[in-house]
Amino acid sequence: MAVAVAVGVLGCAGLVTVATASPPEPASAGTTAASATTTASTAVSTAASSWPTLEEGASGAEVTALQHLLVAGGRSLDVDGRFGPATAGAVEAYQKAKGLSVDGVVGPDTWGKLTPTLREGAKGAAVKAAQTLLSARGQSVAVDGEFGPATAGAVRAYQKAKGLDANGVVGPESWPALLAAGSGAPSGDRAKLAAQILADDGIDPATVHPGGTHAGSTARQNLVDTSRGEGAQTSPWSDVPGRRVDLDTGMLRGLLQLRTGHGFTLSVSEIVGGDHSSNSRHYAGLAFDVNYINGRHVGEGAPHEALMSACRSLGATEVLGPGDPGHTRHVHCAWPR
């Protein structure tokens, strides 16, 4: 599938200012025209294979970036990090306007049209998209729509870490690298997401409870049951004993992305099981608790603030940790009802 990678100015006048798109790496004085063409073709092929696919139900930084890009492309919608019906409609409208297949799914062709080449001096919603992704990938940058020296430095740092040409320009090589790093929509349904989490050695779901004994409602068993297409079980001593609860796919994606997109290793102490407040989102399959981050216990030097920030960027709307009552020893991340 061909990917349109050289994109001009997107959107209505004043929405975004970008530089004219250029090849991934300009040929040097001694490079032949044939070799320069081969280099560009290789970069396009690589980009095509690494673009993520986003569709309705996805959430997180990739969706936030998509929404900023749609705004830059002239669509009107809220930027909330959740790929709902409004975002799907905006994607379809954009695809129709650009002569693409109208399916509401954002794949290589749509990404290629949406992503302009950005460099220092650019302004607007497309710059916010790049800054959102840089921030989600661990770079310290403000999401202000101004491509200044700080953003250029963050781009170069990210490019260097990924083995790209560290030129400070967000173009057809950097966009797919930034987007695919977190993957806002891991493939598959609830069961497949749970299986992906169980298969990741960097995520350790607990096999015991801190407040009681019940093998059927541990964090690991919640995921095992979900991977089998069953509901996750609550604990007998909880406010809602003996229930089977469907785990929220946005929450499962967020948990997976903390590992795959943000690089944390983490231990999950509870999901649906355990004892929580009577109206807790745990009981609705919308929350998880983390007690170890990168091998350190929360409250004993673990980078809990970084993990809490990452949860928020992935769509969590209730994030609690040390400093919040009852959360001295764990981080709580919950997605909206």
Closest C-alpha to 189, from 112, 247, 259, 142: 247
Q: Is the dihedral of CA 287, 293, 299, 304 positive or negative?
A: negative
Closest C-alpha to 97, from 116, 79, 73: 73
pLDDT at 2 over 80: no
pLDDT at 149 over 50: yes
pLDDT at 225 over 50: yes
pTM of the model: 0.50
pLDDT at 4 over 80: no
Q: Which of 41-45, 187-191, 301-305 has the highest mean pLDDT?
A: 301-305
Comparing 27-36, 71-80, 265-274, the range with the smallest average pLDDT is: 27-36
State mean pLDDT over 55-62: 81
Residues 6+ apart with CB under 8 A from 233: 216, 217, 221, 222, 225, 242, 243, 244, 245, 272, 273
Q: Which residue in the block uniquely carries the two structure tokens 């790496």?
A: 25
pLDDT at 326 over 50: yes
Fill in the amino acid letter for 219: A
Beta bridge partners of 176: none
Rounded Cα gap, residues 240 and 56, in angstroms? 31
Q: What's the pLDDT at 181? A: 56
Q: Is the dihedral of CA 297, 299, 305, 309 positive or negative?
A: positive
DSSP 163-192: TS--SS-B-TTHHHHHHHTT-SS-SS-HHH
Rounded Cα gap, residues 248 and 57, in angstroms? 10
pLDDT at 41 over 70: no
Which pLDDT band, with edges at 50, 70 and 90, does 120 fall under?
Answer: very high
In 3-state terms, what secondary structure has residue 289?
A: strand
